[in-house]
Structure 1
Amino acid sequence: MKRWLVLAGLLPLVASAETGYYLVSVYDVEGQASIDYKYWNAHYKNSRNVASPEIGVGYGVTSRWYTELTAQWVQFDGRQTRHTGVEWQNDFLLTQGQFDVDVALHTLVERARRRDKGYVVEIGPVLQTQVWRTQLNLNLFWQREFDNGLRNATELAYQWQVKQRWKPWLAPGLQGFGERRAHSHRAGPAIFGEIGRVKYEAAYLFGRNSGRAANSFTMRVQYLF
């Protein structure tokens, strides 16, 4: 019984976690489709490890509109995998190079596998600029859970990134993520690259997840076609 109580306590940590581990960065990818694999895990002190693999299909509908549909799972200690839900992401470029800072609007709706668990809505601005070879990103998202018709408090989440464009196949950088009400703040080194039709990124984050100390590893691999 104690083991299942621990699992129940960890489930909320993965309910709306995607943008807590992967930076949203919007480009003109009109006509480009992708298979998008994401994975993150969190190691908590004196508790079980939590991980979440995800697989999605994305498409650049126009030069300003990107859409992606993703299915999510959760794992505890590398096993007990269970499907948790699906999410639909839509991002819209509002500027395309005419200003020093590019601006986009990010939206996401996440639906839990169990209907009684409700859904999550997320919306907010995506900001990106470049100083010589250094790319800078800052995103602010408002998240709200709707559970059985009840509206929960709105969460403010943030993302930031610094990426040095060294080589197409290898670019070092830093990433940071956080949620204000959950007292979560994570940051650490990251690497990025593109080899042929494959884009990848990975990061190791230190800090707190839902108010608890945790170290997290994240990775994302996209196959473009």
Structure 2
Amino acid sequence: MHRILLWLVAALVGLLPTAPAYADPGYYVVTAYDNAGLRTVDFRYWTVKFGGRPETIWPELGLGYGVNTRWTTELLYSTIGPSNWDVVPSSLTWQNDVLLTQGEWPIDLALHASLIRQAGYGGQTYALEYGPVLQTDLGRTQLNANIFFERSFEPEDGKPIQMKYQWQLRHRWHPLMDFGLQGFGELGHWSHWNENSRQSHRAGPAFFGHVDLGQGSGPDKALLYQAAYLLGTVYSKHGGMFTLRMQYRF
């Protein structure tokens, strides 16, 4: 599995051409779990629609692996375009999440880090996203709150470190259907937030579930899904966002 991931990194990096740069606004809520030994195939899809403007879509494909009880790593290849049949490569992301606690505290803590290589004008640009992941349970309800910082490495001097947040409420109702809420936002410079009109905040209902596919020689196989529809601001403009994630674990 390690060799496969390394091979894919090399292959996909070579596929990224010079193209316009886009700031992906979708984000999926990062959660803190022990995924030791689990391999995943991850399909993600989100859309952004502003009033009176064409829809933009971001399909993504990922491969992940639970290296041990604390460390999960995933490689994601993203595209962007106005339709499913008209997309171009957008970014390549290497995501790593490390659990620091595993139930010994009332709130579990993990560290999240993503190295992003994005197609840009005149060449490639890089960004590093990092920050704490917080998760706890109140009865059958799971609560998540994450604060992330993003450092962009531009060819010239670079941009200031940006601050953003994620939160999620998930109530466990039935294995096939949990329901809750999600929210995301971008605040601007970490030490000097943008004025309110230039910040972005969006939230909306979310649905989750999983289907067990039987046991193999290793971890249980399962198909997981989540979907959400968010309203608010993206790029400081009012709009709507639909997100979908399907994950096969084996």
User: Normalized against structure 2, the TM-score is what?
Assistant: 0.81
The SS at the match of 1:165 is strand
Match of 2:32 in 1: 26
Q: Deviations over 1:144-199 (max 9, x none)?
A: 21111422011111000000011111100000000012511110000000111100
Partners of 2:108 and 2:182 in 1: CA distance: 19
Q: How many residues align?
A: 212
Match of 2:202 among 186, 192, 207: 186
Output one character per residue of 1:60-109: Cα deviation in whole Å (capped at 9) or x when no partner.
00100000001000011444310112110000000000010000000001
The answer to whether the aligner puts 1:53 opposite 2:59 as a matched pair is: yes
Q: What is the aligned partner in structure 2 of residue 76 from structure 1?
A: 82
Query: 2:3 maps to what in 1?
Result: none
Residues 119-158 of structure 1 aligned to structure 2 (within 5 Å): 119-158=126-165
Provide the identity percentage.
Answer: 42
Is 1:15–2:16 an aligned residue pair?
A: no
Coordinate RMSD, CA, aligned? 1.4
Distance 2:103 2:81 in 1: 41
Deviations 1:190-216 (A, max 9, x none): 000011110000000000001101101
- Aligned partners of 2:55 and 2:48: how far apart in 1? 6
Tell me the equivalent position of 1:41: 47
Choose the corresponding residue for 1:93, options 85, 99, 103: 99
Other-structure match for 1:112: 118
Is the Cα contact below 8 Å between 2:32 and 2:108 reproduced in 1?
no
Q: Describe the SS at the equivalent of 1:166.
A: strand
| Kept after mapping to 2: 8 A contact 1:16/1:120 | no
Which is higher, the Rg of structure 1 or of structure 2?
2
Q: Which residue of 1 aligns with 2:231?
A: 206
Counterpart of 2:245 (choices 191, 205, 220) is 220
Partners of 1:108 and 1:127 lie apart in 2 by 17
Greater Cα shift, 111-120 or 20-29: 111-120
Distance 1:200 1:120, change over 3 A: same
For 2:114 and 2:27, how far apart are their aligned partners in 1? 15
Find the residue that maps to 1:31 and give its secondary structure: coil
Unpaired stretches in structure 1, ≥5 consecutive residues: 1-10
Which moves more between the two structures, 180-189 or 111-120?
A: 111-120
What is the TM-score when the length of structure 1 is the normalising length?
Answer: 0.90
Listed as ranges, the gaps of 5+ residues in structure 2 are: 1-19, 189-197, 213-221
Could you tell me which amino acid in structure 2 is paired with residue 61 of structure 1?
Answer: V
Give SS of 1:118's match.
Answer: strand
Q: Counterparts of 2:247 and 2:182 in 1: how far apart (Å)? A: 19
